[in-house]
Amino acid sequence: MSANENRLAHEKSPYLLQHAANPVDWYPWGEEAFAKAVRENKPIFLSIGYSTCHWCHVMERESFEDEAVAGLLDSHFVSVKVDREERPDVDRVYMTAMQAMGMGGGWPLTVFMTPELQPFFGGTYFPPHSVPGRIGMMELLPRVADAWRTQREQLVANGERVFRMLESLSAADERDAHAVHPFAALLEQCEEALERSHDAEAGGFGTAPKFPSTANLDLLLRRYAREPQAHGHARVMAVAQLHAMSAGGIHDHLGGGFHRYSTDRTWLTPHFEKMLYDQALIASAMLDGFQVTGDTRLSDTARGIFDYVRRDLQSPDGAFYSAEDADSEGEEGRFYVWTPAELEQLLGAESAAMFARRYGVSARGNFEHGTSILHEAQTLEEVAAAAGLTSEAAEAQLAAARAALLAARAQRVRPHRDDKVITAWNALMIGAFAHGARVLGDASLGRNAERAFEFVWTHLRDERTGALLRRWREGDAAGEGQLDDHAYLAHAALELYAATHEAKWLERALQITTVMLARFWDEKDGACFESPAGDPHVRVRMKDGFDGAELAGNSVAAMNLLRLAGLFERSDLRECADRTLQYYAARLAGNAYAMPRLLCAMDVVSHAARHVVITGEPGPERDALLAVFRHGYRPFDELLVVDGAARGPLARLAAFAASLQPVGGKATAFVCLDHTCQLPVTEPAMFAAQLGQAVPPLPLESR
């Protein structure tokens, strides 16, 4: 560590390293900082963020690089920096605390707390000096320091009350311990809430800002698939958002991929950072939309996401990096925006004019400094008609223009890339690549998924315990894996099985799930804690309650448990799934839209499980049956493929499937409800007819 560096210089986190040269005497989260706070009887100034966070950069430039602010922090506080992506458990506790105290939430998160880590005040971004409506750091820090000297007992008592409140959030309500909460009613409540907030004009839900919120789309498309006649508008709402996002400025029309969210209701002006988890979840949503509608615009958008991730977010070892910043050269969005003069210089007048009409580039601009964010301002047909071309000819010219502009953009100063490997986010991307391999018939996507999975399995897994680690960077793996790391990776393994039909992926899904239950399961109240036990500095183990930009670990875990229980006839896994759903059903009454992905699991458990088994050796006959299954959107069906090589492993895992034999030596399909199979079929048309039969809901007493 050099003279102008602080302790963060020893860390691997790109976010912490960004602050290593601050004049603030930063400590990483850990015993050294906490012991100093106790020894010197100072409150802790906790700052939580991540390396691609725009307002984190702003607060650093304005305050943490300022000698006067640093002097106040060093005199009166012990300053601690946390990367929320490496330590989501710490972030979750203090984010929830701030929200519960009415102090807002977001990043950078600023928390003042006692040496015993009890929060008593905080907020998000604070400017260096006070402005109307917002106190500045130079005024706030002395006030907090004075309150610590004069009102310490009250601050400590307030912090302790906050912790007691946080502990109560994850406990089961004993009044509901024996109540039966009808899952169907919660599903209806969620769909009705989405109906009320649906923006029929601009797509999506609510007003600005608009997030992708793909869990909403998952629920709506499943509702439609379950009962198309009754839930036709669910399909309309989901597809409208997918189209609006694909056409809007939130979509990178040159390089592929999506920015984090839209600051306006029309999806035009994004917050420009790109997060790995968004790429994964949006790609899967686009693939689902494509399967429901057959609209190749949606599958093309998914392909663009995969191209972007492989080009810009994939490591040489096959793992996926975390994110790209919103800022470059000190300005948000600078890397992505264009002017008419730039287009004409690169494309020539005629091609530039066509491109500008299609993607909304104007002299006035729609962003800062007269620049324009690319979006589909006119349809391809309108642009072609204006140019006197066929749609095919116009698209060929536009494709050439996009390629030329992408090459030119590559010469600009790129935004910072956070190159750490997060297990949970890699798992989401692995699942999306496997999903793409299956839906698009692109084997290269499957190979990408397998390579990334093997990286995680090799570098981010404790071989002794089987537990996952959280983060890898520059050869260093660290941090205990959280619930989402385990749940998401088990889901990725199931998706890889669906794409490859190799039994090892089922075995790994079971292995990970077994470890997950051992480390996170709450035997007393049901469901899983988000963090493992044993860290004395994380005083509250919480349970997630929101499917937002990232899916709740319990939402994914519940679906995994149901799938694995049905495939392998495991009553213990089914019991864990049931207890998880009942735990959340009590909490979601009146607030069902908080966890749409969990409601998808409630829908699954409310209907008979349908399993599809295809037996026979690889070849054209089996491929024809597989093509029938893969053609449609089938979120409720589990497929097992059994041939000579797979029969041994499947006999250990799913004996009912391994017992089914081909008919007359031909590839054969079996459609089974709760392991009771219809007559075997060998003809694709008959197989399609059986798959088209609706699965009725179970009687309430059987759920």
1 has a pLDDT exceeding 90: no
Q: Are 611 and 668 in contact (CB under 8 A)?
A: no
Alpha-carbon gap, residue 652 to 629, rounded angstroms: 25
* The pair of three-digit structure tokens given for residue 683, joined into one six-digit string: 């003809």
Percent residues over pLDDT 70 in the chain: 97
Sign of CA pseudo-dihedral 458, 464, 468, 470: negative
> What are the helix and strand counts (H, E) for the chain?
27, 19
Which has the closest alpha carbon to 15: 473, 479, 536? 473
- Average pLDDT of span 468-479: 97
pLDDT for position 675 = 83
Q: What are the pLDDT digits (tens) for 553-578?
A: 999 999 999 999 999 889 999 999 99
Q: What are the pLDDT digits (tens) for 321-364?
A: 999 999 999 899 999 999 999 999 999 999 999 999 999 999 99
Give the number of other Cβ atoms within 10 Å of residue 153's Cβ: 8
699 has a pLDDT exceeding 80: no
- Average pLDDT of span 684-691: 94
- Average pLDDT of span 34-55: 96
Query: Domains of the chain: which residue ranges?
Result: 7-169, 196-418, 607-703
* The pair of three-digit structure tokens given for residue 652, joined into one six-digit string: 């250990």
pLDDT for position 574 = 96
* The pair of three-digit structure tokens given for residue 643, joined into one six-digit string: 């041939």
Count of residues for the chain?
Answer: 703
406 has a pLDDT exceeding 70: yes
pLDDT for position 702 = 47
pTM: predicted TM-score of the whole model, two decimal places = 0.95
- Average pLDDT of span 547-552: 95
Alpha-carbon gap, residue 589 to 348, rounded angstroms: 59
Q: What are the pLDDT digits (tens) for 108-145?
A: 999 999 999 999 999 999 999 999 989 999 999 999 99
Q: What are the pLDDT digits (tens) for 642-654?
A: 998 888 888 888 8
Alpha-carbon gap, residue 401 to 348, rounded angstroms: 10
pLDDT for position 170 = 72
Alpha-carbon gap, residue 215 to 599, rounded angstroms: 10
484 has a pLDDT exceeding 60: yes
Task: Give me the residues paired with residue 673 across strands.
Answer: 610, 676
**Homologous superfamily of 7-169 in CATH?**
Glutaredoxin (3.40.30.10)
47 has a pLDDT exceeding 60: yes
pLDDT for position 163 = 86
Question: Which residues lie closer than 8 Å to 580 by C-beta, 6 or more apart?
Answer: 526, 527, 528, 554, 557, 558, 561, 601
Of 156-160, 417-421, 551-555, 562-566, the least confident: 156-160
411 has a pLDDT exceeding 80: yes
Which has the closest alpha carbon to 25: 4, 53, 43, 11? 4
Distances (CA, A) of 73 to 378, 501, 631: 53, 57, 60
Residue 36: pLDDT band (50, 70, 90) is very high
Q: Are 212 and 281 in contact (CB under 8 A)?
A: yes
Q: What does CATH list as the number for 607-703?
A: 3.40.30
Q: What are the pLDDT digits (tens) for 261-312?
A: 999 999 999 999 999 999 999 999 999 999 999 999 999 999 999 999 999 9
pLDDT for position 172 = 64
DSSP assignment letter at 60:
I
pLDDT for position 181 = 60
Average pLDDT, the chain: 94
pLDDT for position 617 = 92
Higher pLDDT among residues 208 and 702, named by residue: 208
Q: What SS3 string covers 301-351?
A: HHHHHHHHHHHHHECCCCCECCEECCEECCEECCCCCECHHHHHHHHCHHH
pLDDT for position 519 = 97
- Average pLDDT of span 628-657: 89
Alpha-carbon gap, residue 537 to 350, rounded angstroms: 63
Q: Are 346 and 404 in contact (CB under 8 A)?
A: yes
7 has a pLDDT exceeding 70: yes
